[in-house]
Chains A and B, each alone.
Chain A
């Protein structure tokens, strides 16, 4: 599903964000990406979305070589990915339902399909009763659930979550991770970057640890901290 082969990424400023990263993530996996700030987690996720291109090596996502992907083909790649942001990125002047529908409308989905799919996504994350509310009336946890609904409404093959619990209290954070795990059970590959040790340790899923742009640990049922 996702394959990094000897990937290096150096920004024009000279900062080397990733070097010699080789890793394979198979379809249906649930993976935590951990590591200190500046270790390269965000760059790792940006490469998968083709927001950045690798300086060396190859990044293959669902069969597409990101480095060689023409700009015109990038939207097609991104439609197979669902993205959850730490800061939610909901449009404040639109209702919950409109925010979720936004991802379908801008990708040219048949308008007839939009209503039922938005309903399904909101039910999946438990936000259907708040469909007509504006984001400002929701708690942080609820806003993140709407963000998750927007990520899955396009039925992506992969869900990428960049610090999805960073702005949430522990209870809301646990709800979000449980939802991600439930989405993963349906066969969607889930990749979560996080600084939250509790969630990683409770779920015990595959853990990839980055440090200074290199993979220093890759465990099938790992903990947040490496066991010595």
Chain B
């Protein structure tokens, strides 16, 4: 059957090459879309993880009351970290961050900063809920959490995921249509062969087998070509991005390529096999 499929590919070389090239391009675009989508999701995730809620205590709140707020905050659930920051620590950080202003506290009558509580939430979508709960707690004067930034990051993440899925679905759909049509043409070019097979008593499996294997081989060849192109392109682009845009959190090749290639190969084989099956159906039931 494998020999028949290989012979079929040889006989219809041009058609097979056209189908394989088309599928390879579609798979490359789908694989590229997956990689870009994964990187954007990673970027969004990184930004999300950096967003935190800060609650500022009134100046008269004693440490024991602050500890109670900390305990209540942890008890809310959904937080990944919660720590109390004394006004002295806050001032030290300020001086560290703005070194040119290191001498400013010396001219002030005292430390003007309040004690605070810093909270990181496990799921960024719950940040608003945690902030409101913190605001309602005894002794908390104000809460800051960069609502707009968080909301935009969450919206961006969702948009990236949805757009990635839609783009991939569209491209896979296009690839399937192209493959079905090219395989249908290949089958049409060999309809006499199929007719003779059926008339001399070849079993349906024998008639379909070589065509299905052909589709599978074309899918595998296309996936292989797309694998080489995608891997090479990602290695080059990721290295360049790391060098010229160090603040951009680009996924390491080992973290994204295995999944992208698994998707690409699955699509290639399924589309090759499925395309052959659909292409054959018309002639074998006609």
Contact = CB atoms under 8 A, between A and B. Distances in A.
Interface of A: 49, 51, 71-72, 75-81, 83, 89, 91, 93, 102-103, 106-108, 150, 154
Interface string B192-206: 110111111111101
B200 A83 contact: yes
B105 to A, nearest CB: 91
Given A93-B11, A108-B206, A103 B192 contact: no
A49 B206 CA distance: 18
A89 B200 CA distance: 12
B209 to A, nearest CB: 10
B124 to A, nearest CB: 59
Contacts of A78: 198-201
Contacts of A83: 199-200
Contacts of A49: 199
A108 B197 CA distance: 11
Given A93-B11, A106-B206, A108-B206, A77 B196 contact: no
A89 B201 contact: no
Interface residues of B, number: 15
A89 B206 contact: no
Given A89-B195, A91-B192, A91-B193, A79 B200 contact: yes
12 contacts: A75-B204, A76-B201, A78-B200, A79-B200, A79-B201, A80-B201, A89-B195, A91-B193, A103-B200, A106-B202, A106-B207, A107-B202
Contacts of B192: 89, 91
Nearest to B207: A106
Q: Which of B192, B193, B195, B202 has the most CB of A within 10 A?
A: B202
B56 to A, nearest CB: 79
Contact of B196 (A51, A72, A79, A89): A89
Contacts of A75: 198, 201-204
Contact of A91 (B196, B202, B206): B196
A156 to B, nearest CB: 9
Interface in B196-238: 196-204, 206-207
A80 B202 CA distance: 12
Contacts of A71: 204
Nearest to B195: A89
Given A49-B199, A75-B204, A89-B196, 4 more contacts: A78-B200, A106-B207, A107-B206, A108-B203
Contacts of A107: 200-202, 206
A93 B196 CA distance: 14
Contacts of A150: 200
